Amino acid sequence: MSQLFTPITIGPLKLANRIVIAPMCQYSADDGLTTDWHTIHLGHMALSGAGLLIIEATGVEPIGRITNGCVGLYSDETEAALKRTIDSVRKYSDIPIMIQLAHAGRKGSSQRPWEGGQLLAPKDGGWVPQGPSAIPQLPTEPAPQEIDAAGLKRIREAFVQATKRSVRIGFEGIELHNAHGYLLHQFLSPIANQRTDAYGGSLANRMRFPLEVFEAVRAATPANVSLGIRISATDWAEGGWTPEESVEYGNALKALGCDFIDVSSGGVAHQQKIPLGPKYQVPLATQIKKGTGLPTMAVGLITEAKEAEEIIVNGEADMVALARGMLYDARWPWHAAAELGASVQAPKQYWRSQPRGLTTLFGDAKTGGR
């Protein structure tokens, strides 16, 4: 029996299998509002047979978005738009759906990737990004505005309000984005955080604000909603955040009621040196799984069904999350199930696509007709 297609429970949430659709920015929102594109995109993903769908990084305040095209959840209008999108998807799929709440910090006010991805100046429609310290992401860019005490309070409350909006929309889970060089990761990393107050310097100080945000979100999250976090387990740069610090951070999160850790890496340092290759981030997930005992998601260049199966069988991680692989093949879980001799849930309208010889791929699907 395929272990990839066995159920798992993360906090209060039970998943039918261990394939997770990771958050994927679409840069296609209209002033923070989801559009028809998001309904189409998430509809594809929701019919994939995966165990869990996590929607893209969603800004908790306007300047917390990465680009002008990023989704937000900071007003009644953005909440209503996102609810319409999710309600449309739910009409045809009962896949559990999480939201990833995020703040871009100093990486905010960027152009969309297909427009170059560079920092967008206020005169060109951007804004002045904020960060833990006045240190730019790239040496050629102007420095962000350092966040003061009032700003820390504002951002913490923005995460809380976005959490309450997420619950009203009906998400079964929330993932805080603490990876890829965005704000919460910036506070953790000595590369981006060179503050001299209680939020900088020592590991305990650098963890302080992200932990405060998590604790505030946990208090606003009902017991029936799963709450976890995505982290960059290493900066892949000298003097940066390390896997050992990630384990210590993970244990602090566990004490606050964290249900899972989604383990990625990099993004905060322009000088990072990432050893790209198949499953290159999986050992990080394994280290955090062993060091904290929390359920972990492994990500990064996992493309083959057998690779994903081995990760679960060998206990390297508890779940496998795919992003680009799902964009390339929105039926990846179907194909993985066919290869591994498992079954997936599929919409009735697609039952007749079941190939000959794979009569149990869609469970008890009846494929008759005239």
What amino acid positions are annotated as catalytic residues? 182
286-289 — which CB contacts under 8 Å span 24+ positions? 286/315, 286/316, 286/317, 287/233, 287/243, 287/246, 287/247, 288/231, 288/233, 288/243, 288/246, 288/247, 288/250, 288/261, 288/263, 289/315, 289/316, 289/317, 289/318
User: In whole angstroms, what is the distance from residue 90 CA to residue 75 CA?
Assistant: 22
Residue type, 184: L
Distance CA 342, CA 361 (A): 6
CA–CA gap between residue 130 and residue 104 (Å, rounded) = 9
Rounded distance between C-alpha atoms, residue 165 and residue 78, angstroms: 10
For residue 221, how far is the Cα from the chain centroid?
17
User: What is the Cα–Cα distance from 180 to 192, expressed in whole angstroms?
Assistant: 12
Name the amino acid, one letter, at 321: A
- Please give the single-letter amino acid code of residue 84: R
**302: which residues sit within 8 A by CB, 6+ positions away?**
278, 279, 282, 308, 311, 320, 322, 325
Say how far apart CA 167 and CA 108 lie, in whole Å.
Answer: 25
| Residue 360 token pair | 């149990």
Are 171 and 154 spatial neighbours (Cβ–Cβ below 8 Å)? no
Give the residue from 199, 203, 217 showing the smallest Cα distance to 257. Answer: 217
